[in-house]
Structure 1
Amino acid sequence: MEKSRRPRSDASRNREQLLAVATRTFAASGTEPSMRAIAHEAGVGIATLYRHFPTRESLVDAVYQDQVQRLTDGARELLAELPPHEALRRWAELFGDWIATKNGMLDTLLAMIESGEIAHAHTQAQLFEAIDAILAAGRATGDLRADVTAEDIAAGLIGIFTVAHPHDHRARAARLLTITMDGLRAGGSLRAIMMQS
């Protein structure tokens, strides 16, 4: 019985390793890398990559869904370990990694969203739920402002990581996140944000 399970276990590990390498490769690339480049980075032959991900779209979908899952699970996990304002900051950094990964597969991703292969509205709802969980915890503890919505947070983070790509401008992204997070603390205000910018 143990022997019959091992190939599936090995295949699962290989798939996870390929997924991790593909995620890093997409995040580090200014343009979409080839499947061959991803296989090379993973140290496997192209046939091995195609065995797990038969098309570019299947790989992009797997990376995208994995990143969304990390963000939704991350909100709960961070709240279990950190005060809400710190959880939000750490979650924002995860969001920045997701944005960077999306940039490396953008053409394929947009085509898949347009064709309906990826349900963008569902993903958006999942992310808003994750942010809402952190905001609700922050309101309950008096840690975060009560007048901020998940949509506000998402829009602000997209703006930050559009002007300061987390890999190319890490220090600038960190500074903008600090300014934003200070403004989101209970008692924060737009005036306080503007004074620090």
Structure 2
Amino acid sequence: MATSGSATTSKRPAKAVQDNAKSAAKPQDSSSADVCSKPLRADAARNRQKLVDVATTAFTEDVDTPLDEIAKRAGVGIGTLYRHFPTRCDLVLAVYGDQVAGLEQRSYDLPKELGPGEALHEWMRGFVGYYAVKMGLINLLRSMMQGNPETFESARNRMRASAERVLQPAIEAGVVRPDATAMELTRALGGVCLASSTPEGQETSLAVVDLIYDGLRFGAPNHS
């Protein structure tokens, strides 16, 4: 199958894709909400997001990174970390929720910036960065699923809705085949990323995602 011109021009390093997937969480994101129900002061909100950002990088590199090391890298005291995240599990769930929210936010933002086909393609590539972080946490997340089933069910539903949000306009524009579904798309992307957990593997995942996108275009009414 020949690679499309769009696939060639949109290739980016895996790190850039991961950075794009780390958008701020939406206010209704309960999986990454602060343990306190009151709105955070601006400085406290910055500290919390800094801790999540640092933890995202740290856990992707080494899931066993000590919490005091994360606090040190974020430039805050360990007491500040514990005020926001009383347990390690709270921080892990915040990182996971932040990634889900970031990819969800891209499903809103990309269609405003790009055409339907390009928006879908870029969202698919952003999925690689999201999954790279999830893979770093996979064992911890699995151990937490039983105690937090609603959190993970909500995340799955949000991911599927995000996929639908970028897939359906591309179908309606005739740039991808009309029989594709959001469930099939997220399963295909997850399967690709699951097989590649290293930085080199992420580059391979991006190349395979481009091939999947080309496959979606095959047989589309307006495919050229």
Range class of TM-score, shorter chain: 0.7 to 0.9
Q: For the Cα contact (< 8 Å) 1:32–1:106, is it kept in 2?
A: no
SS in 2 for 1:156: helix
Question: 1:4 is matched with which residue?
Answer: none
Q: Deviations over 1:97-143 (max 9, x none)?
A: 22111222223322221112652222111111111111110111111
The answer as to 2:103 corresponding to 1:78 is no
- For 2:90, the aligned partner's letter is S
Checking the alignment, whether the CA contact within 8 Å between 2:193 and 2:202 is kept in structure 1 is no
Q: 1:167 aligns with which of 178, 190, 199?
A: 199
Normalization by structure 1: what TM-score?
0.82
Give runs of aligned pairs for residues 48-87 of structure 1, distance below 5 A.
48-87=80-119
Name the CA distance, whole Å, in 2 between partners of 1:73 and 1:40: 29
The equivalent of 1:11 in structure 2 is 44
1:21 to 54, 67, 87: 54
Q: 1:51 to 1:26 in 2, by over 3 A?
A: same
TM-score (ref. length: structure 2): 0.73
Preserved CA contact (<8 Å) 1:33 1:104: no
Q: Which has the larger radius of gyration?
A: 1
- Give aligned pairs, total: 181
What residue in structure 1 maps to residue 144 of structure 2?
112
Q: Which one-letter code corresponds to 2:162 in the other structure? A: A
Contact in 2 for aligned 1:21/1:41 (Cα 8 Å)? yes
In the alignment, the residues of structure 2 paired with residue 16 and residue 152 of structure 1 have an alpha-carbon distance, to the nearest angstrom, of 33
Runs of 4+ in structure 1 off by over 6 angstroms are: none
Q: Which runs of 5+ in 2 are unaligned?
A: 1-39
Structure 1 vs Structure 2 CA RMSD? 2.0
Identity of aligned residues (%): 35
Report the Cα distance in structure 2 between the residues aligned to 1:166 and 1:94, rounded to whole angstroms: 16
Query: Which residue pairs with 1:101 in the alignment?
Result: 133
Name the structure, 1 or 2, with higher relative contact order (CA <8 Å, separation 6+). Answer: 2
Structure 1 unpaired stretches of 5+? 1-6, 189-197
Shift of 1:186: 4.9
The superposition leaves residues 72-94 of structure 1 with CA deviations (integer Å, 9 ceiling, x where unpaired) of 11111011111222212221222
Q: Higher helix fraction: Structure 1 or Structure 2? A: 1
TM-superposed deviation, 1:148:
0.8
Task: Give the equivalent residue in structure 1 for 2:64.
Answer: 32
What amino acid maps onto 2:59 in structure 1? F
- Whichever residue aligns with residue 25 of structure 1, its letter is A
Partner Cα separation in structure 1 for residue 167 and residue 124 of structure 2: 13
- Report if the CA contact (8 A) 1:53-1:59 is conserved: yes
